[in-house]
Structure 1
Amino acid sequence: MPEREQDDHEREFDLKWADNAEHKEPSARARMLAARWKENPPEPVPFRGEPDHVARRQRRSSWISTVVVLGCVAGVIVLLGYINFRTY
């Protein structure tokens, strides 16, 4: 067997062996967070929670956006009706 093919075979064997391991060591970040949270656990956070000031601004801007879009649609309808009325 050529050397490169043998290296690939050994690497594949090592990956299978590692994937089938019963105990997998956590990453350094996971170990660091576990140690930190053991003494000082984090407070629960809602899914994709946002700060209050951002949430308020988004609520207000969504209403403003809705009013602007509906106003534009109403304006186009009135304009088309006026143009249609003048052609007859």
Structure 2
Amino acid sequence: MDEQGDEEREFDLRWVGEAEHKEPSARARMLAARWRENPPGPVPFRPDPGPVGPRRSSWVSTAVVLGCVAAVILLLGYLQTRAPY
């Protein structure tokens, strides 16, 4: 850009930065309009946790993981013995 264009751009940025009133973003305008019609209810700082379902024993999870690992090892061993050389 030429020198005059840079000066005009700098003036515009300075003018915008010094503006007394700045227009809110589109999201802020959207939320303000939505909340004007239907204001949000109070939200606690830490809401109560929902109902907790039954927990499985850690042994059950461990057994499932080890069973899957053993099944993969056995499958790979079987496929290796069936592969032609």
TM-score by length of 1: 0.47
